[in-house]
């Protein structure tokens, strides 16, 4: 299958650490989108024990990653990184398909999908 998202080594390290801390070793990392957020769509990353028939599956830095075929076109080319700062660390998501996003950085919309915007 085609690799939909790019997960940096730093992000993979922190995701694997979270898997160990939560007893989720061997799980898939499911990357997806859902309606909501002030721009209409929000990102979702969860641990999943099963893959669905229509999932696209690929591996990067030792992570098994699944993306639904419905979400794949919206996420194609997205880069997930982990940045450390004086205020702590967090994941950053850079989606080349997003044409607008809100200040929180976790809500966006694309040219073809406006989602379901909510109040901030």
The range of the structural domain enclosing residue 102 comes to 5-110
pTM for this one? 0.80
DSSP letters for 43-62: EEEEEES---TTEEEEEETT
* Per-residue pLDDT, 41: 80
Q: What whole-number distance in Å separates Cα of residue 4 and Cα of residue 56?
A: 8
Q: Is residue 58 part of a domain?
A: yes
* Per-residue pLDDT, 116: 57
Q: How many domains would you assign to the chain?
A: 1
Burial-class residue 53 by CB neighbours within 10 Å (0-12, 13-18, 19+).
exposed
Q: Are 48 and 40 in contact (CB under 8 A)?
A: no
Q: Is residue 118 part of a domain?
A: no
Q: Give the single-character DSSP code of 87.
A: T
pLDDT digit of tens for each residue in the chain (120 aa)? 568 999 999 999 999 999 999 999 999 999 999 876 666 788 899 999 999 999 999 999 999 999 999 999 999 999 999 998 777 788 888 888 886 666 555 555 555 665 555 555
CATH of the domain at 50: 2.60.300.12
């Amino acid at each position: 299958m085609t690799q939909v998202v790019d997960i940096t080594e730093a992000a993979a390290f922190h995701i694997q650490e979270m898997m160990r801390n939560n007893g989720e070793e061997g799980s898939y990392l499911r990357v997806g989108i859902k309606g909501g957020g002030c721009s209409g769509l929000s990102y979702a990353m969860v641990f999943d024990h099963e893959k669905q028939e229509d999932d696209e599956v690929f591996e990067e830095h030792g992570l098994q990653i699944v993306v639904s075929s419905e979400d794949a076109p919206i996420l194609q080319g997205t880069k997930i990184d982990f940045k450390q700062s004086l205020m702590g660390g967090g994941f950053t998501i850079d989606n080349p398909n997003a044409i607008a996003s809100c200040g929180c950085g976790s809500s966006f919309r694309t040219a073809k999908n406006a989602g379901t915007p909510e109040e901030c």
